Every structure is written in C-alpha cells, then in structure tokens.
Amino acid sequence: MIWRDGTLLSPGEGSVYGERTRGGLRVWDPRRSKFAALAHLDPGFDLPPGTRVLYLGAANGTTVSHVADYAEVVYAVEFAPRPMQDLLAVARRRKNIIPILADAGRPGRYAPLLEPVDLLFQDVAQPNQAAIAVRNRPFLVPGGRLALMLKVRSIDQRRPQDEVGQEAVGVLEEGGYAVDSVRSLSPYHRDHLAIQGRRVD
C-alpha cells in the first residue's frame, strides 16, 4: 500500500466522494473507512496488487472505491437498495467492482457470481456478524484472509467489547477460521473490533 508522510493513499481516478488528493493519489481517511483504520493500526496489514476481494457490506462504495484501486477485482455485496444506487455509480467508473445486491447472510443467492477470493472483508451491522463470516468462508481460497470489522453495538448494546469479541472469535474458530489478531479500531472508530484470521481446512 502507498504511504506518504503517514497518510494512506490509493492510486485511482478521483474524486469519488470529494476526498482530497495528493500528488495525483487519493487520500484514504482512516476516520471514514474501517479498512484504512485497520491499515493504520496494523503495520502488517497489506493489500498486494492482484488481490481478489469479497467485500460484504459495501454500502455507498466509498471504501470499496479505494480497495478497487489496489485489488484486481472486488465483489461488493450490499443489501440496501438506496446505498446500492451510489455503489452502482462508483462501479460504472471502476470496472473491477462487481456490484451485488444481496443479503450477505444468504450467500447461496450470489454464489453463482463469485470466484475464489484471497481476502474476505466484512463490515455489516448485523447481530450475527461472525456467523455471516462463517457462511461466506467457502469463497475463500485455502489459507485466504478474513478481516472482520466487528460492530460490537450491533451485537449487544451493553456488554463489554472484549466479551462480545471473544464470543465472535469462538464462533469463527468453530466455523473453520484461525484467528490471528483482535484489535480495537479506536481512536478512529468507536465500538469496533478488527478481527483478522485465515481459513483453515
């Protein structure tokens, strides 16, 4: 990934959502994007060229547009029609985004469109986030990476963050993932845990 003076940049046609550019590159703000926040907090996190990404919870395509600047192809799954309208506008200009209007909890519905991916990035506001990651595990190549942005408050309003996180880790390990790290996304995002793991067979 491209860094300049501590700022994460992405090479691509700007400006998609009014983001600043620096030297012709688009500034990728960790406060707006959990993907960028994770890259800021974990020096080992990388998105090498040629990566194939399955992105669950694509929303308006803000982060997706940056991911698509690096990745070879991004399968962007979003359930809500309104944000999908914006995502379609982004995908019209970026041919390596495959927009999919579907429920990430029912992967069978969009499975015919997919191919094996190297990275599963998930950012969905559902109480069963870990189970959704498990259901989408078949799309990962063996050893493929999972980056789950756990929205703690979508799971439980009151229980402590670590407790909810441990429970999610349990579900993931039960479901065929090896969890490598769990870190909080503060100070960039509140009540979010980034869980990184790998598919194990």
Partner 1 sequence: MTARYWWGEIDEDGTCRPAPTDEAEALARLGSLESPMDGTVPGTWEAAVACGVVPDRAAYLARLHDLAMRLAADRVAEALRGPDLELLRMVRTLDELDGVINLLTERAVEWYATQDPGFSRKFRAVPARRLVQVLLPRARGPLRSVLLQIEALGAARTDLAREVTRAAFRVMPNSSGLVGGLVAARLMAAAGSLDALARLPASGLQVLGARSALFSHIRTGTPPPKHGLIFQHRRVHNAPPAVRGRVARVLASRLAIAARIDRYRGTPDPAFIEAANARIDGVLA
Q: Using CB under 8 A, list all residues that contact partner 1.
A: 73, 81, 84-85, 87-88, 91-92, 95-101, 107-109, 111-116, 135, 138-139
- C-beta closer to partner 1: residue 42 or 86: 86
- C-beta closer to partner 1: residue 43 or 112: 112
Q: Strands 97-101, 73-78: parallel, antiparallel or unpaired by DSSP?
A: parallel
Other beta carbons within 10 Å of 2: 14
Shortest separation between residue 148's beta carbon and partner 1, angstroms: 19
CA distance 189 to 201: 32
CA distance 56 to 104: 6
CA distance 84 to 88: 6
Shortest separation between residue 92's beta carbon and partner 1, angstroms: 7
The interaxial angle of helices 34-41 and 62-70, nearest 10 deg, is: 50
- C-beta closer to partner 1: residue 7 or 96: 96
Shortest separation between residue 71's beta carbon and partner 1, angstroms: 12
- C-beta closer to partner 1: residue 122 or 161: 122
Sequence-separated (6 or more) residues with CB below 8 Å from residue 144:
116, 117, 118, 119, 120, 198, 199
- C-beta closer to partner 1: residue 57 or 99: 99
Shortest separation between residue 120's beta carbon and partner 1, angstroms: 12
Shortest separation between residue 116's beta carbon and partner 1, angstroms: 6
Q: Quick check: helix, strand or coil at residue 153?
A: helix
Shortest separation between residue 180's beta carbon and partner 1, angstroms: 24
CA 10 to chain centre: 16
- C-beta closer to partner 1: residue 134 or 152: 134
| Tokens 């090896």 found at | 178
